[in-house]
Structure 1
């Protein structure tokens, strides 16, 4: 069995963060206990929301890491996803632009954690 990987995002309120990520990712969590929720992202990869490690995260504090959602479909797919998320009122950190790896943008969750959308490599 190949190893799996879990990306952990620290949040203040797992219920609020679960609603946010469920809406953004258009999926429901696969595992849920108080203070810890996971979303299956594909073969052997999960996104976990955890409130048990840090209290009082300040959304204004810059984050040095980010979760990246890699989308197929090229630049148009990236721009469509940005439009859908912007209509939901998600806090935009960086609007769609071209980088060396392709079209990308960055938003933030309610705790200030960064979410990048970029093309599949």
Structure 2
């Protein structure tokens, strides 16, 4: 069996996106250049940003086509992040709401990629 090791999103400016995510998540990127940036988190998850202008082969989608999800243990944590991200000026695509899978809200990054925060009802 193979295990996925990284998510790559296509962005207009990896350097600007890295700055955005560093401020949002409080973690510095391990790599940052005009064409590529990458974060490695304590749980092993890797998030990379590749310039949509230089990715090879050329990407069919150029932004906003997916979600990065952040799980919280309690509904109050979801609400706290919502307030924090809204105050920071992030675009909010979905205000906190109870859905079939859990309590959630959705914000957007600089390129329109969705950032879903949720508390799972499992």
TM-score, normalising length: structure 2? 0.81
The answer (yes or no) to whether the contact 2:15–2:36 under 8 Å persists in 1 is: no
1:92 has 2:106 as partner: no
1:71 has 2:72 as partner: yes
Aligned equivalent of 2:24:
24
| SS of corresponding position for 2:98 | strand
Aligned equivalent of 2:7:
7
Matched ranges for 1:34-73 at <5 A: 34-51=34-51, 52-53=54-55, 63-72=64-73
CA offsets 1:9-43 (integer angstroms, 9 cap, x no match): 11001111111111111211122343111112333
The answer (yes or no) to whether the contact 2:65–2:113 under 8 Å persists in 1 is: no
Counterparts of 2:86 and 2:38, CA distance in 1: 24
| SS of corresponding position for 2:6 | strand
1:116 has 2:116 as partner: yes
- With over 3 angstroms needed to count, the CA separation of the structure-2 counterparts of 1:3 and 1:32, relative to structure 1, is farther
The answer (yes or no) to whether the contact 2:32–2:38 under 8 Å persists in 1 is: yes
Where do 5+ consecutive residues of structure 2 fail to align? none
| SS of corresponding position for 1:116 | strand
Counterparts of 1:34 and 1:96, CA distance in 2: 35
- With over 3 angstroms needed to count, the CA separation of the structure-2 counterparts of 1:46 and 1:33, relative to structure 1, is same
**Cα offset for 1:45?**
1.4
Where do 5+ consecutive residues of structure 1 fail to align? none
